[in-house]
């Protein structure tokens, strides 16, 4: 009887949980705003991201729900502050509430701005490339990040990995990525095995620890060496002659002006310099801050494979560091339809540049590259993951559609198709 009474007392003392679901949409077009940040104004560590279709879900305790203000932010949009007590009716614990938000764009219509020619845009990109060593990570730094990766067959998820990582890296400049002493540690992780029909050698290949670092080492942190992603790997900026440029628009962000540029391989130049029979199939976009000539976003799509890569950067203490990245790769041809796609998402939750804080920070277990995930021997802590749903997950088809249409302007996916994968 005492045990039951104690249980009831503890249960009654636990704070009530309130779940808020919704969408973040563009105020003008009504299109979803993917990967927007949603967090509490008074506790920015408590937050989530919208998924590829703009959907989010956040769980708050009683105090946060009744007194809190949610902040919605995304690149090229004005911040929106929503006081929950005013925006939503009185809640009932355990029952989700719907909150749809429209963000006002800071886009400046092209007729109202100076449109640069291909030559002018080429010069702007070249100047931004020259500024990379000055703009990015000048000292040793530490990054805390959330990682999600999966590979999938036609039957659904074959393996789903989620982890919280700590990454220590050296500054840009002087050394290539391969030469820098980049160390990655795992603080918490969970690995979920799905479809059983995956050939053992395929599962073994994707069950390596190195895939937890791919979002950073291969995608988000290769700006200095790979420049504009996997389109080409120039040793000098003269290799920009293979590209053509077109201005998409401009954005205002405080006192900064951001210009969005579409680039593609020039068919005639490419045909003269590549083996016969090959065709240009790379397109992409970059966002450049014209104030300090820094890259804020890089998108790249290889249409024939297909491969889609996206990376965004953020400014911390005067320098730029990765903020988030995503990578999708269709593997049907190389892996005999096993798996169907491979996807990585990487999101930075904190950047630490103070040498004293870096030295004091306690790290988890260090990744060992090609070793299997199981070799990490990290004890799964269910309490850690409760309320740590960074991003609602989409079915494989919806994720692939988003990644590919992001640069190809494919037909829009319906908002009501958002759902959480049942294998999670």
Read off the pLDDT band of 98 (50, 70, 90). very high
Is the pLDDT assigned to residue 390 strictly greater than 60? yes
Would you report the helix, strand and coil content of the chain in percent, each value rounded to 5?
25, 35, 35
Domain with CATH 2.60.40.1120 in the chain: 16-105
Q: What is the pLDDT of residues 20-30, one digit of tens each?
A: 999 999 998 89
Q: Which CATH superfamily does the domain covering 16-105 fall into?
A: Carboxypeptidase-like, regulatory domain (2.60.40.1120)
Q: What is the DSSP letter of 374?
A: G
Q: What is the pLDDT of residues 127-166, one digit of tens each?
A: 988 888 888 887 889 999 999 888 877 666 778 888 999 9
pLDDT of residue 35: 87
pLDDT of residue 5: 43
Asked which of 90-94, 97-101, 176-180, 377-381 is least confident by mean pLDDT, the reply is: 176-180
- Cβ-contact 21, 99 below 8 angstroms: yes
pLDDT of residue 416: 35
- Closest by Cα among 277, 276, 335 to 305: 335
Tell me which residue has tokens 């300090």: 292
Q: For residue 343, what are the contacts with CB-CB under 8 A and spacing of at least 6?
A: 149, 150, 151, 152, 326, 327, 328, 329, 399, 400, 403
Quick one: which H or E segment has residue 300?
strand 294-302
Asked which of 87-96, 210-219, 410-419 is least confident by mean pLDDT, the reply is: 410-419
Per the prediction, the chain carries an average pLDDT of 76
What's the whole-number mean pLDDT along residues 161-181? Answer: 78
Read off the pLDDT band of 418 (50, 70, 90). very low
pLDDT of residue 231: 40
Of all residues in the chain, the percent with pLDDT exceeding 90 is 17
Number of residues that make up the chain: 424
Tell me which residue has tokens 């490419």: 270
Q: What is the pLDDT of residues 42-88, one digit of tens each?
A: 888 788 999 888 999 998 988 999 899 999 998 778 899 999 999 99
What's the whole-number mean pLDDT along residues 384-392? Answer: 75
- Cβ-contact 223, 235 below 8 angstroms: no
- Cβ-contact 178, 380 below 8 angstroms: no
Tell me which residue has tokens 């009683």: 62
Q: How many whole angstroms separate alpha carbon 355 and alpha carbon 141? A: 8
pLDDT of residue 114: 64
What's the whole-number mean pLDDT along residues 284-309? Answer: 82
Helix, strand, or coil (residue 127) = helix
Is the pLDDT assigned to residue 262 strictly greater than 70? yes
Is the pLDDT assigned to residue 421 strictly greater than 50? no
């Amino acid at each position: 009887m005492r045990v039951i009474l104690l249980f009831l007392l503890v249960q009654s003392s636990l704070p009530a949980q309130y779940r808020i679901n919704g969408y973040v949409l563009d105020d003008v077009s009504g299109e979803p705003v993917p990967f927007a940040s949603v967090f509490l104004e008074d506790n920015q560590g408590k937050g989530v991201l919208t998924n590829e279709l703009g959907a989010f879900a956040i769980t708050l305790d009683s105090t946060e729900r009744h007194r809190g203000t949610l902040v919605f932010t995304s690149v090229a949009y004005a911040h929106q502050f929503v006081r929950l007590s005013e925006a939503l009716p009185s809640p009932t614990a355990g029952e989700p509430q719907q909150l749809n938000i429209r963000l006002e764009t800071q886009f400046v219509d092209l007729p109202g701005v100076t449109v640069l020619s291909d030559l002018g845009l080429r010069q702007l990109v070249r100047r931004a490339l020259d500024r990379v060593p000055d703009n990015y990570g000048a000292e040793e730094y530490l990054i805390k990040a959330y990682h999600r990766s999966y590979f999938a067959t036609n039957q659904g998820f074959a393996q789903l990995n989620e982890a919280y990582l700590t990454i220590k890296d050296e500054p840009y400049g002087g050394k290539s990525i391969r030469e820098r002493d980049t160390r990655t540690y795992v603080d918490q992780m969970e690995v979920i095995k799905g479809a059983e029909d995956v050939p053992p050698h395929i599962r073994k290949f994707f069950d390596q620890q190195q895939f937890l670092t791919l979002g950073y080492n291969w995608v988000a942190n290769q700006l200095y060496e790979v420049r504009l992603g996997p389109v080409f790997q120039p040793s000098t900026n003269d290799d920009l002659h293979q590209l053509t440029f077109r201005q998409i628009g401009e954005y205002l962000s405080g006192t900064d002006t951001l210009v969005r540029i579409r680039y593609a391989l020039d068919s005639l130049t490419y045909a003269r310099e590549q083996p016969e029979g090959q065709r240009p199939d790379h397109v992409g976009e970059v966002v450049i801050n014209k104030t300090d000539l820094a890259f804020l976003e890089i998108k790249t799509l290889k249409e024939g494979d297909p491969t889609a890569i996206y990376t965004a950067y953020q400014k911390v203490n005067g320098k730029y560091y990765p903020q988030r990245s995503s990578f999708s790769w269709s593997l049907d041809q190389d892996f005999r339809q096993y798996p169907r796609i491979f996807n990585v998402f990487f999101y930075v939750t904190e950047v630490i540049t103070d040498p004293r804080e870096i030295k004091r920070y306690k790290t988890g277990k260090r990744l060992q590259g090609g070793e299997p995930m199981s070799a990490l021997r990290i004890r799964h802590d269910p309490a850690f993951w409760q309320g740590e749903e960074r991003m609602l997950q989409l079915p494989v088809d919806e994720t692939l559609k988003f990644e590919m249409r992001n640069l190809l302007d494919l037909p829009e996916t319906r908002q009501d198709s958002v759902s959480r994968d049942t294998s999670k």
